[in-house]
A and B are shown apart, each in its own frame.
Chain A
């Protein structure tokens, strides 16, 4: 990692906690060259290329794979209980995969803070899940497993439709709120000895509803979705959910990430339009890339929407070290 990427690495952590991305102060020589070269590129040719890509059929490869994984994971919970196949017992907050403990990191943290007593099974489950998501990309939990993410994506489509019809506008909210809510819920758990976040976590509520049957608590999930449809795009995941931040921190050192290649990018910004966390893609803005190849920061959910959308293949899934190895 060169100095430019190193600086960006730390900046992206700050961005995850809520800082707005800034224009980079220093850019590597090679990247500067490309930026300059791009200014000299024939504008018409570039425009023609963009139009050609806009006409192509929309690609949903990664989205479909992701939805399949998300639905399969949640159904595995459900079927394990319904048909007693006992592969994945429990709910997303805590479960057993063929007998081996898995415990959601945020739930585990809440319980540890509230109960102030940690039993062995809790440690085993937490460490397992920590290692799992450290390897698989931290917030990929959000987009590949969390059932609320799927509902929110559908709600997002309705929201975007209403935006196109000029019936609603996306009201953005201060992203620092998520860090605040993480701190507040951690303090509440420790101070009151009650895991209050678990009572309102749409992830937990939905996961339990899928397994143990619907409950009135779903009304809270519905309220969140209504808020997102009519008021603020993806508000819960973007601005409030402490689970996302917890997994984001785990993903800081994750080898699985999205990689951005500067030289092929058109800077037309489609990727930022589909992204749940567009602040991680600030680097695709013209002139902002600090190097020719840039790993996207830890707040990225590795959902792959940008990979599907990118007309030039400038954004791809990447496993650190693996590409070098191959």
Chain B
């Protein structure tokens, strides 16, 4: 061999060497601590798993969703109205996981076939849950939802077995329908970016909501634009004082898509989606 062989026994480390070794251990601990500390912050969404955020259609229950989502955003890419966004660090629902902010852009099922579920590579979004995952009571839809847009098609239903939330009239006092008022003009104003598919305009191309002004003698936007058949209707109800009045009423087929929340012209909205809420009879 080319080099002189080193002595067989290890000489004791010099003081400098020992110090170097000690420092290296400290640095290793430092980096471990840094990475693990950052990782711990990653657990926050699990702690806050109760924080309600609307997930895309077909999402598993929150804990299972967080464990299976691979954070690739393929659901984001296929959505024709780009209703799905990816969560950031500060959103507290898991970095890179998808969610829907219905007021900004609801899922209007203009893809006709819940494409996001089809796109999901890990089964975080599913048409039907695998057998080993339980279905929360009231989460299951009584029947496959009928898409109003597809009502005349041979197959009018949407392949969706569970709801992602339920719409609820949270501010009835401000609701135009209850007050018997109409609505004229652009819902949400000219600057609103939200888009929707209007069958009478173009079945295959969603347009900006602002490009589709309304002129309604009596506001029924949440009912008119709800993509699911029989999910919401204007009913005549009795007010506490005994007088008759009209009010939007949510029914069992509601899947929680959020179109009513997006389209409500009142600020802030009168009707919201309670994310992950189940149907209570």
Contacts and interface: CB of A to CB of B under 8 A. Distances in A.
Do they bind each other? Answer: yes
A44 to B, nearest CB: 18
Contact of A240 (B23, B35, B66): B35
Contact of A81 (B66, B69, B77): B77
Contacts of A108: 70
Contacts of B46: 192, 194
Contact of A220 (B66, B89, B123, B133): B89
Contacts of A117: 68, 123, 130, 132-133
Contact of A90 (B31, B66, B73): B73
Contact of B70 (A184, A195, A200): A195
A91 B71 contact: yes
Contacts of B69: 111, 195
A42 to B, nearest CB: 15
Contacts of B9: none
Contacts of A181: 32, 35
Interface stretch (A9-17, A57-65, A92-100, A292-300): A92-100
Contacts of B77: 80-81, 89-90
Contacts of B156: none
B72 A95 contact: yes
Chain B contact patch, size range = 35 or more
A47 to B, nearest CB: 17
B28 A198 contact: no
A20 to B, nearest CB: 12
Nearest to B87: A215
A48 interface: no
B2 A286 contact: yes
Interface string A211-225: 110011101100000
A7 interface: no
Given A117-B123, A195-B70, A232 B2 contact: no
Do most interface residues of chain B lie in helix, strand or loop, or is the interface mixed? helix
Nearest to A286: B2
A317 interface: no
Interface string A238-254: 01100000000000000
Contacts of A115: 64, 67-68, 122-123
Interface stretch (A130-138, A145-153, A171-179, A271-279): A171-179
B24 to A, nearest CB: 6
A286 B3 contact: yes
Interface in A107-162: 107-108, 111, 114-115, 117, 119, 121-122, 125
B36 interface: yes
B142 interface: no
A200 B41 CA distance: 9
A204 B67 contact: no
Interface in B64-89: 64, 66-74, 76-78, 86, 88-89
A67 interface: no
Interface residues of A, number: 67
Interface in A183-232: 184-185, 188-189, 192-200, 204-205, 208, 211-212, 215-217, 219-220, 227, 232
Nearest to A195: B67
A316 B67 CA distance: 43
Interface stretch (A31-39, A68-76, A301-309, A318-326): A31-39
B3 to A, nearest CB: 4
B94 A27 contact: no
A53 to B, nearest CB: 21
Interface in B13-47: 23-25, 27-28, 31-32, 34-36, 38-39, 41-43, 45-46
Given A115-B64, A215-B88, A287-B1, A197 B122 contact: no
A103 interface: yes
B89 A91 contact: no
B39 A199 contact: yes
A237 interface: no
Contacts of B86: 208, 212, 215
Contacts of B45: 194, 199
Given A114-B68, A121-B123, A94 B74 contact: yes
Contact of B96 (A32, A171, A185, A198): A198
A25 B68 CA distance: 47
Chain A CB count within 10 A is highest, among B35, B76, B130, for: B35
Nearest to A31: B1
B16 to A, nearest CB: 14
A103 B123 contact: no
B25 A174 contact: yes
5 contacts: A95-B72, A95-B74, A114-B67, A171-B23, A204-B71
Given A90-B77, A115-B122, A199-B41, 12 more contacts: A32-B1, A90-B72, A92-B72, A111-B68, A111-B70, A114-B68, A184-B36, A193-B63, A199-B42, A208-B96, A217-B88, A220-B89
Closest 6 CB pairs of A and B: A199-B42, A94-B72, A114-B67, A115-B68, A119-B123, A35-B2
